[in-house]
Structure 1
Amino acid sequence: MMNCSGLLNLQKEPVPLKSIEVELEVRDHVATVVSTLNYENKENKPLEAVFVFPLPGDAAVYHFSAKIGQTQIVAEVKEKQKAHEEYDDDLSFGQQAFLLEESDQSPDIFSLSVGSLPPGESASIRLEYVTELAVQADDGLRFCLPAVLNPQHKYLGRKSKGFEVVYIPASLVPHSLSFSARVSSPRPISKVESNCSLDPLQYLNTDQTQATVKLAAGHKFDRDVELLIYYKDAHQPTAVVEGGQASAEPGTLMGDPVVMVSLYPEFPETVMSSGTSCGEFVFLMDRSGSMDCAISKSEQEETRMSSARDAVLLLLKNLPMGCYFNIYSFGSSYEHIFPKSVEYSQETMKEALEKVDQMEADLGGSGMLEPLKHIYNQPCIPSHPRQLFVFTDGEVWDTKEVIDLVKKNSDSHRCFSFGIGEGASSALINGMAKEEGGGHAQFITGTDRMQAKVMQSLRFSLHPIVTVTWDLPKEVSVTVLSPPITTLFKGGRSLIYAQLTGQSSEAAEGCVTVKYSLAGHPSENQLHFSLRPAEDTGLTVHRLGARSLIRSLEIEEREHKEHEDGGVKEKLVQLSVQSGVSSSFTDFIPVSKDNRDTIQGRFLLRNNATPCEFTDRYSRQFVK
């Protein structure tokens, strides 16, 4: 058993972490996160270390820098092979060198090779990224800072292919966390809540549209830090047009304006109550060994498995009569309760309830791909749209293959995913549902909001399919950067990013039209917006739009890989370099040219493996 997160040397021993500083800036539904991690080499010799850390799955990393002693290093995004070559060249010449790269298995895992750290020297690592904030069942916006930055996640070995979470008492955590947030929105801020102690919310203006909040003094980073932000009139639809980068060429994504449209449909309650009850509900439960861990630091008695079980039992008791359903569970192998989906009745519900109530985390590893293939190979039931509900802690073997499979079958179903427990993979949970599955993602880290989240997803599964059209001046064309939106949910947010190419007058307007049919009643909503760019927001919208397009291109490249089509990869790399947003084909490569101190010996590069195996197989070996 060994540590599998944080900064480790070649002997798999942790480099002492002195402190973590996090600054969060929230603008309406988008967050900018600046994290600074401070380390110190207390050995009497230089060491080379690798640091693996998590990010939100839909985050766009746009800045990475480090300070080694008095040497300042700033990163640039480069094509992966070129970045590796430069890293090895600088190490061989005795220069400080860093390499930040995205995992081949999951886009929310980044590994950082921190070159040679001299004895007694401190290392300060700074990372900046932007991300969307998920809307919760009670209309709160959720930001989560995972606690895996401290040494509590441990690798279980190659056979299990997973992690366990070992919670460390606050008194034993050797470092502290400084966390502050600034919130601004066109709407007044009603409150900010957290699972950790906060200082009182400080409003910065009389209309309460700007505020700051901090963690209370003395906080130890011994658990996930969850922040919930609430606005008044939270469902107001908006459109923000952000001007392009002055130095970028017009016609490129960074050179043209980009619009972000936030849609909040208001379905009448009378129409919602008469909605269709048809549907095929397929539940997929994770029963791997890691599901036996505690769901959170504060609820040690509640396991991830018991939480998933309670969620499925709640859904089973509330399915609409006349629908069809089935329940699958998986680990190293998979099982299903019925040979095929059966009609929902008192008898079939009772049988399913009894079997679910007996389920334990006893199926070994985390292989989600095979049961998904089996589900998708089952014929769909006419007039009963398929709704897939997935419950997992996110520690599956092949995140990207799972997401690709969900997208491949997105025309035949909608996917609703639940991340169970602190540290659940946001790349998997959001990727399956929000980005590729046309559904909705939820994160369950305790019992307090579990029922509301589960019932919200059930309501969402009965909502209508929609179409979205654009109406712009003839001299302006639109290129949608995000995946097509096929479903809108009452109380849920849908974001659309689009590049606007062409010249228009400052008074020109655009319009987005949303059409759908609910319970046989056609409806149409329009959102008019000015094409005049808003104030400079630091290219936040551009970066999020680039991130969305990069993720789509990555999936497209994997689909065309067997045909050896290099055009998609070339476009992807070009977009990543131009926007400064990392991808699976690019790395951040910062190199200090000022430090010429020689490293005794040379380093050999080994190929990357899965994130949890990096201490075994991803290392740069020091050779005397």
Structure 2
Amino acid sequence: MTVRIHELPDPPARDPESGLGALRTGKGNLPLDSVGVHATITGHVAGIDLVQGFHNPFDVPLEATYIFPLPDRAAVTALRMEAAGRVVEGTLKERGRARRDYDAAIASGRRAAIAEEDRPDVFAMRVGNIPPGERVTLELRLVQPLSRDSANEATFRFPLVVAPRYIPGAPLDDERAGPGTADDTDAVPDASRISPPVLLPGFPNPVRLTIDVDIDPAGLPLTDVASTLHVVAEENGRISLRPGERLDRDFVLRLRHAEDESASLALAPDEAGDEGTFTLTVLPSGEARPRPRDVVLVLDRSGSMRGWKMVAARRAAARIVDTLRTEDRFAVLSFDNVIDTPRGLDLDLVPGTDRNRFRAVEHLAGLEARGGTEMLAPLLEAGGLLADPSRDRVLVLVTDGQIGNEDQILARLAPRLRDVRVHTIGIDRAVNAGFLGRLAALGGGHCELVESEDRLDEAMRDLHHRIAAPIATNLSLDSELDIVPDSVAPRLGALFPGVPLVVSGRYRGRPGPVTLHGTRPDGTAWTRHASPVRTTDRAATHLWARAHLRDLEDRYTVGEDLEQRIVDTSLRFGVLCRFTAFVAVDSDVTADGRTLHRVVQPVEAPSGGVAQPPRGAARPLAARSDWTDDIDVPDFLGAGPAGAAPLAPAPVPAPPGYGAARPVSRRAAPRPTGTTFKDEIARAVERLRAVPDTPRDRRTHLLTDLLPALESIVRRMEAHSRDTAALAALRDELRTLATTPDADVEALWTRAFETLADFTSRRPFWKRGT
């Protein structure tokens, strides 16, 4: 196979005087010495082996921690540890149990490793009891779908570094969740798990990186290949990375194919039983008659966007403004620690006239990077503007996505962005693709990633198709297959001209065709039929399981009680998620009882990037007063109520020529600042705990006094679809206390204490087992 390989432009060279690189100690260098990636691309799926080599240069046993990225849509299906000629296969377990097994092995002197997921694209590897001078190799097995765009181009993206992320919120007094450099906060309670130390600029390349990619088009004519790193092509179809590259940006291959069929249905039966996985691919054609649109463009102008990213972001936003028509309405919000709007345009939707578009482009042209990435408030603002169901509603976010409070943002936005298409444009060489993909999925939108200015025009052409009027909405599946309920992933959104739609799910029984139904903008029916083709590819089931687990985890984030279902699904299909972990434990004792030397592997500074400040330096932004009602973020996020406003320095003033820079005021909450459901219940427990030996009347009074607070908590938790069964049952018992003279107050007091104490003792999944 012979194809052309195009290399995208190099980033600016590092300044040789920018740092001394003094990260050598008297005991040696860093433990991670090699990373190898071998991928086999077959059609639109890649199977990947990731090999990490750790060496102990110290004179005592070593435990090394490495915080690293993986493709956000990849399914991790295996862990293998090899050392001293011994091979240990990892086992997937519930996360708390896996941690206990790992800790027990380390305490007993046995070699062990554990792989955990903290974000869809951020993982942590720990390997302990490496004897002095020994080398341990850890191998992860992954399967990854290639993303596809409207030009029938498939993209293989493998991230190589976790970029520094902006961590908003107030520091927590609780134990740290991980070994990273950032403090855990009420907005990012696991910040210390996603913040590895960063190598000094100018430090010699500490890790040997190898990447090999074998490409099998699987019958799809391959016409072109482009790469972001220096690669060479070999005659057997393998593409290899040239030696000397650093782990400082995403590795991207783009493969252009000739157009394939418009609809296909692949069925992958399980090896045992009568179930299987189906994958439906639809490539729609044709154009739709445009409807008037409401478009809100949100642009990140925070400090991490400095340099080429800010230039590209301004260009991308201006291109979107240029596509607007007079019958469209739009708003432009730029943000850092404050929200800016174009001069002369209020914080509201305005018609897409030439004058208004000129003002918007003029505003965009003058933006410079500054401040912190306080992203929640502008997104809430945008959602508040998109309230007219008679129009197509579109939200576009342009950012590098380098934030830590992803869960907090998704929890607040999910109930407010129903029927709003959310498109994200990620601009970075080490972009936070996991968050941007999750956010886009909220509204059936698309995440477009841009790693260079040269890539921008192509990306914007693709996004133009997706922002345009859809061919069909209200999609549903009609099938002779017996589709397992609530198994289709991702959730069906809308169809756009030339934009592939790929959905998968589980089925039972006999195979059969599938028909995709939708509604055209004029109200008429749209259908596409696909006949089944059997396949023995096990990757289809792993990819479905990964997509389904991500959907369940996002629903958990917004309050659904799905933890056990997530764990069961992960273990059944052998795919890692945030609630499980792979653990490998050797049976041989390798340590001699000496204290472990613990090292957290520093990572490269992202190519062309700007380090984020660890925490915000200004008051967090807030949302419109009519959008911040009395709602708590779920307690596992550690976030306070909508009215919380931590003290901080004043916002940065707007530069001349801009609209007013405005931190929009919040509605004050009637609860103490920074409290959560768990905080409120903890106070109730303390009141009950303080009176264990008081008379019946006193306990009756305390239980009666507890009722209004408990009713309020249950009502607000139910609004977030939280599991309130135990608390609601206690509330109902307390309601009968006043009308039941012979009530067993002692038993009720004990039950109240145990129920509330059990709720407050639940540990977040990232701290279990510790």
Structure 2 length-normalised TM? 0.66
8 Å CA contact 2:380–2:413 kept in 1: the answer is no
Please give the per-residue CA displacement for 1:293-325, whole angstroms capped at 9, x wherever unaligned: x5xxxxxxxx21111011111221221221111
Residue 122, structure 1, aligned to residue 148, structure 2: no
Matched letter for residue 175 of structure 1: R
Cα distance, 1:202 vs structure 2: 4.2
Which residue of the partner structure matches residue 354 of structure 2? 346
SS of the aligned residue for 1:553 comes to helix
CA RMSD of aligned residues (A): 3.5
Residue 108, structure 1, aligned to residue 121, structure 2: yes
Which residue of the partner structure matches residue 684 of structure 2? none
SS of the aligned residue for 2:325 comes to coil
The CA distance in 2 between the partners of 1:174 and 1:181, in whole Å, is 23
Inter-CA distance 332–46: structure 2 relative to 1 (3 Å threshold): farther
8 Å CA contact 1:468–1:512 kept in 2: the answer is no
**Structure 2 counterparts to residues 309-328 of structure 1, below 5 A:** 309-328=314-333
Inter-CA distance 165–409: structure 2 relative to 1 (3 Å threshold): farther
Inter-CA distance 378–12: structure 2 relative to 1 (3 Å threshold): farther
SS of the aligned residue for 1:38 comes to strand
Please give the per-residue CA displacement for 1:167-207, whole angstroms capped at 9, x wherever unaligned: 9789846524242323232322223222334433646xxxx
Inter-CA distance 180–219: structure 2 relative to 1 (3 Å threshold): farther
**Structure 2 counterparts to residues 84-483 of structure 1, below 5 A:** 84-103=99-118, 106-148=119-161, 172=205, 175-200=208-233, 202=235, 212-215=237-240, 217-218=242-243, 220-221=245-246, 223-234=249-260, 236-246=262-272, 250=273, 256-267=275-286, 271-272=287-288, 275-292=289-306, 294=307, 303-337=308-342, 338-362=346-370, 364-378=371-385, 380-381=387-388, 383-433=390-440, 435-464=441-470, 465-473=472-480, 476-479=482-485, 480-483=487-490
Cα distance, 1:68 vs structure 2: 2.6
Cα distance, 1:446 vs structure 2: 1.2
The CA distance in 1 between the partners of 2:267 and 2:309, in whole Å, is 42
8 Å CA contact 2:296–2:395 kept in 1: the answer is yes
Inter-CA distance 166–95: structure 2 relative to 1 (3 Å threshold): closer
SS of the aligned residue for 2:378 comes to helix
Please give the per-residue CA displacement for 1:77-131, whole angstroms capped at 9, x wherever unaligned: 111111121122111111112221111xx32111112122211111212111112
The CA distance in 1 between the partners of 2:121 and 2:298, in whole Å, is 22
Which residue of the partner structure matches residue 560 of structure 1? 559
Please give the per-residue CA displacement for 1:420-444, whole angstroms capped at 9, x wherever unaligned: 01110111121111x3221111111
The CA distance in 2 between the partners of 1:470 and 1:354, in whole Å, is 45
8 Å CA contact 1:280–1:324 kept in 2: the answer is yes
8 Å CA contact 1:9–1:50 kept in 2: the answer is no
The CA distance in 1 between the partners of 2:512 and 2:115, in whole Å, is 42
The CA distance in 2 between the partners of 1:430 and 1:36, in whole Å, is 26
Matched letter for residue 448 of structure 2: Q
For structure 1, the 5+ residue unaligned runs are 1-7, 204-211, 295-302, 614-618
8 Å CA contact 2:229–2:252 kept in 1: the answer is yes
Inter-CA distance 321–311: structure 2 relative to 1 (3 Å threshold): same
Which residue of the partner structure matches residue 73 of structure 2? 58
Please give the per-residue CA displacement for 1:134-187, whole angstroms capped at 9, x wherever unaligned: 124532211122232899x9x996699889998978984652424232323232
For structure 2, the 5+ residue unaligned runs are 1-22, 167-179, 601-611, 615-765
Inter-CA distance 14–415: structure 2 relative to 1 (3 Å threshold): farther
Inter-CA distance 599–437: structure 2 relative to 1 (3 Å threshold): farther
Please give the per-residue CA displacement for 1:17-64, whole angstroms capped at 9, x wherever unaligned: 433221112222222111112222212222211110011222211111
Inter-CA distance 12–324: structure 2 relative to 1 (3 Å threshold): farther
Which residue of the partner structure matches residue 514 of structure 2? 511
Residue 495, structure 1, aligned to residue 520, structure 2: no
Cα distance, 1:596 vs structure 2: 4.9
Cα distance, 1:380 vs structure 2: 1.6
Please give the per-residue CA displacement for 1:416-472, whole angstroms capped at 9, x wherever unaligned: 101101110111121111x32211111111122312322321331223242444444
Cα distance, 1:513 vs structure 2: 2.5
SS of the aligned residue for 1:215 comes to strand
The count of aligned residue pairs is: 555
SS of the aligned residue for 2:531 comes to strand
The CA distance in 2 between the partners of 1:12 and 1:340, in whole Å, is 61
8 Å CA contact 1:367–1:397 kept in 2: the answer is no
The CA distance in 2 between the partners of 1:149 and 1:376, in whole Å, is 29
Please give the per-residue CA displacement for 1:194-229, whole angstroms capped at 9, x wherever unaligned: 2334433646xxxxxxxx222254352365321111
8 Å CA contact 2:505–2:544 kept in 1: the answer is yes
Which residue of the partner structure matches residue 300 of structure 1? none
Please give the per-residue CA displacement for 1:523-553, whole angstroms capped at 9, x wherever unaligned: 32222224xx32x32x211111111221122
Cα distance, 1:14 vs structure 2: 6.3
SS of the aligned residue for 2:492 comes to coil
The CA distance in 1 between the partners of 2:200 and 2:596, in whole Å, is 38
8 Å CA contact 1:76–1:580 kept in 2: the answer is no
Which residue of the partner structure matches residue 174 of structure 2? none
Which residue of the partner structure matches residue 545 of structure 2? 546
Please give the per-residue CA displacement for 1:268-310, whole angstroms capped at 9, x wherever unaligned: xxx44xx214111111111221111x5xxxxxxxx21111011
8 Å CA contact 1:164–1:290 kept in 2: the answer is no
The CA distance in 1 between the partners of 2:417 and 2:62, in whole Å, is 47
Inter-CA distance 89–602: structure 2 relative to 1 (3 Å threshold): farther
Matched letter for residue 387 of structure 1: V
The CA distance in 2 between the partners of 1:316 and 1:262, in whole Å, is 31
The CA distance in 2 between the partners of 1:417 and 1:280, in whole Å, is 16
SS of the aligned residue for 2:161 comes to helix
SS of the aligned residue for 1:320 comes to coil
SS of the aligned residue for 2:453 comes to coil
Please give the per-residue CA displacement for 1:310-368, whole angstroms capped at 9, x wherever unaligned: 11112212212211111112223333343211111122112111111111111x22221
Which residue of the partner structure matches residue 206 of structure 1? none
8 Å CA contact 1:137–1:453 kept in 2: the answer is no
Please give the per-residue CA displacement for 1:350-402, whole angstroms capped at 9, x wherever unaligned: 2111111111111x222212222222233623532220111111111311233
Q: Larger radius of gyration, structure 1 or 2?
A: 2
8 Å CA contact 1:92–1:603 kept in 2: the answer is no
8 Å CA contact 2:93–2:581 kept in 1: the answer is yes
Out of 53-62 and 465-474, give the one that drifted further.
Answer: 465-474
Q: State percent identity of aligned pairs.
A: 22
Matched letter for residue 298 of structure 2: L
Which residue of the partner structure matches residue 60 of structure 2? 45
Inter-CA distance 234–195: structure 2 relative to 1 (3 Å threshold): farther
8 Å CA contact 1:470–1:510 kept in 2: the answer is no
The CA distance in 1 between the partners of 2:351 and 2:65, in whole Å, is 52
Inter-CA distance 93–156: structure 2 relative to 1 (3 Å threshold): closer
Which residue of the partner structure matches residue 3 of structure 1? none
8 Å CA contact 1:276–1:519 kept in 2: the answer is no
Which residue of the partner structure matches residue 528 of structure 1? 531
The CA distance in 2 between the partners of 1:410 and 1:467, in whole Å, is 16
Out of 324-333 and 389-398, give the one that drifted further.
Answer: 324-333
Which residue of the partner structure matches residue 737 of structure 2? none
**Structure 2 counterparts to residues 8-47 of structure 1, below 5 A:** 15-47=30-62
The CA distance in 2 between the partners of 1:372 and 1:495, in whole Å, is 27
8 Å CA contact 1:416–1:441 kept in 2: the answer is yes
8 Å CA contact 2:149–2:500 kept in 1: the answer is no
The CA distance in 1 between the partners of 2:143 and 2:595, in whole Å, is 39
**Structure 2 counterparts to residues 570-585 of structure 1, below 5 A:** 570-585=564-579
8 Å CA contact 2:67–2:125 kept in 1: the answer is yes
Inter-CA distance 448–163: structure 2 relative to 1 (3 Å threshold): farther
